[in-house]
Structure 1
Amino acid sequence: MADKNITCKDCGKEFVFTEAEQDFYKEKGFENEPQRCADCRRARKQQNNNRGFRR
């Protein structure tokens, strides 16, 4: 496996999905690659926490 460049679906910024992250996703059984960069994931999580959602 090699690092992959992915474009964030929220901000359009390109981010790297590292080989180590890919191994982690595979180990956890996740089938989909991340669609958001770390900043957008953090912002979305904070937004959901403020709305009372727990994820």
Structure 2
Amino acid sequence: MPDKTLSCKDCGAEFVFSEGEQEFYKEKGFENEPMRCPECRRRRKQNRRQNTNRYEEGSSW
């Protein structure tokens, strides 16, 4: 299973979906390849955490 070069759906950057990552996805039962580069995934995850914290604090927006 060779490395794959994919394009991020958010920023359009190319990123490598390594053989090791592909194996990890397979072991976890993930059927789809990642659609975002590692930087966009990190940013998206961070934004979700911030939004969750706001909700828990009772902020309304």
TM-score, with length taken from structure 1 = 0.92
Residue 11, structure 1, aligned to residue 11, structure 2? yes
**For structure 1, which runs of at least 5 residues remain unmatched after alignment?**
none
Count of residues in correspondence between the two structures: 53
Q: Identify, as 1 or 2, the structure richer in helix.
A: 2
Shift of 1:52: 0.5
For the aligned residue pairs, the C-alpha RMSD in angstroms reads 1.1
| Percent identity over paired residues | 64
Q: Structure 2 unaligned runs (5+)?
A: 54-61
Higher alpha-carbon Rg? 2
Structure 2: how far apart are the matches of 1:48 and 1:29?
23
State the TM-score, normalizing by the size of structure 2. Answer: 0.83
